[in-house]
């Protein structure tokens, strides 16, 4: 075979290789995007059908300014629309009734009441579950590793949101197993859920908190 024919075959082989590369890339891109869409749809669909949730919570808060990690355990109850209660083992209680968030500390004998309209501004990591049926309304969604397709990174669409990003991991049914929230100061809150029970029927009375006698009430 002369040099001219060899050169021609080399050019054809190169063109075929380039075409195969483009074909492979085109096939992979939709598969990646579809994987993200499927995971988000499963999470949104799952929480759209859930009326109430009870679970055990293990929470780790990393405070960047002092380089310290705090660990907490709590019992979580959520009921739609907009009701949440966290009972920590250290005597703290967080309660949201749909409009107001209440923070009780047994140690300081104080109740702090605040009014919120959006869970992103509550500074309560598990409050994300209240809006988990509408992820794509509030966040841009990324999948950072194809090897762990059920782990997603969510970036708030709203300018000035309290959180910088949120990482979540869900199971095959769309149930969230873990949350990691990073705020704009670099602090992180990592929350894992265990013993999850859904649609068990939670009494509304659970979301009424009566402070012990002598507790100072602070409204903000």
CATH code for position 196:
2.50.20.10
Q: Is residue 103 part of a domain?
A: yes
Prediction pTM value: 0.78
Mean pLDDT, residues 125-142: 90
Asked whether 165 and 154 are in contact (CB, 8 A), the reply is yes
Mean pLDDT, residues 147-169: 89
Tens of pLDDT along 109-130?
999 988 876 555 556 888 889 8
Instruction: Assign 192 to helix, strand or coil.
Output: strand
Q: Is residue 58 part of a domain?
A: yes
Rounded distance between C-alpha atoms, residue 26 and residue 168, angstroms: 28
Q: Is residue 158 part of a domain?
A: yes
Q: Is residue 11 part of a domain?
A: no
Number of domains present in the structure of the chain: 1
Whether residue 16 has pLDDT greater than 50: no
Whether residue 11 has pLDDT greater than 70: no
pLDDT of amino acid 121: 56
Q: Is residue 16 part of a domain?
A: no
**Biggest CA pair distance of the chain:** 100
Q: In terms of residue numbers, what domain contains 131?
A: 43-219
Rounded distance between C-alpha atoms, residue 217 and residue 103, angstroms: 10
């Amino acid at each position: 075979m002369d040099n001219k024919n060899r050169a021609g075959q080399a050019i054809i082989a190169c063109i075929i290789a380039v075409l195969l590369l483009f074909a492979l890339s085109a096939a992979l891109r939709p598969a990646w995007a579809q994987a993200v869409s499927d995971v988000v749809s499963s999470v949104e669909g799952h929480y759209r059908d859930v009326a109430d949730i009870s679970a055990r919570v293990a929470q780790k808060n990393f405070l960047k300014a002092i380089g310290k990690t705090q660990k907490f355990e709590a019992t979580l109850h959520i009921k739609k629309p907009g009701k949440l209660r966290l009972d920590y083992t250290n005597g703290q209680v967080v309660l949201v009734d749909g409009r107001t968030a209440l923070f009780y500390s047994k140690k300081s004998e104080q109740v702090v009441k605040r009014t919120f309209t959006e869970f992103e501004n509550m500074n309560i990591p598990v409050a994300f579950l209240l809006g988990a049926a509408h992820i794509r309304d509030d966040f841009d969604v990324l999948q950072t590793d194809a090897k762990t397709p059920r782990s997603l990174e969510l970036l708030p669409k709203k300018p000035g949101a309290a959180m910088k990003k949120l990482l979540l991991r869900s199971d095959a049914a769309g149930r969230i197993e873990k949350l990691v929230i990073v705020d704009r100061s670099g602090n992180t809150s990592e929350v894992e859920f265990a013993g999850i029970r859904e649609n068990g029927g939670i009494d509304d009375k659970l979301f009424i908190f009566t402070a012990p006698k002598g507790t100072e009430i602070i409204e903000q």
